[in-house]
Amino acid sequence: MTLDLSQFTKEAEAQAVGRTVPVYDAAGAPYLRTDGTAQTITVQGMYAPAVRRAQDANTQRATKGFRPRLDAETLNENGIRVAVAGLLGWTLELGGTAVPFTKGNATAILTAAPWLHEQTLGAMRLDAEDFTAGSTTSSPPSSTKPD
């Protein structure tokens, strides 16, 4: 019997296409642009090649040398690297000014706003089916909804 693994290939390819989702502040309110539309991020899935490379690089850094360095700060930095690798773009504004999408800006924002870091990783963890459909989410993740 020959295994037909083409379904796995399709799912992995779908992960790299990207999915756009709105972002929310720490209290769960949507971030809005000056024109009143939602600020958004576009992310790849956790199984997209760029994300897998970032995960592999984190593993290489963590296991390099005689004593691996796995403190809380390093683990947080590793998570931010994965989130940045998964970002494909955004429509973010700060103080009414569009923020250019760069790796440096992404790292700075995800470091300064841990709730955005969590939302980015959460959006990346969606099922491959969600990436194929290109659907969007209209409510904040449960971890950021106000009580």
Identify the CA nearest to 47 among candidates 55, 37, 39. Answer: 55
Q: For residue 66, what pLDDT is reported?
A: 64
Better pLDDT: 6 or 106: 106
Q: What is the DSSP letter of 29?
A: P
DSSP E strands in the chain: the ranges are 19-22, 40-43, 87-90, 93-94, 97-98
> How far, CA to CA in Å, does 7 sit from each of 3, 29, 128, 132?
11, 38, 11, 13
Which distant-in-sequence residues (6+ apart) come within 8 Å of 53 by Cβ? 85
Mean pLDDT of 81-106: 96
Mean pLDDT of 91-118: 96
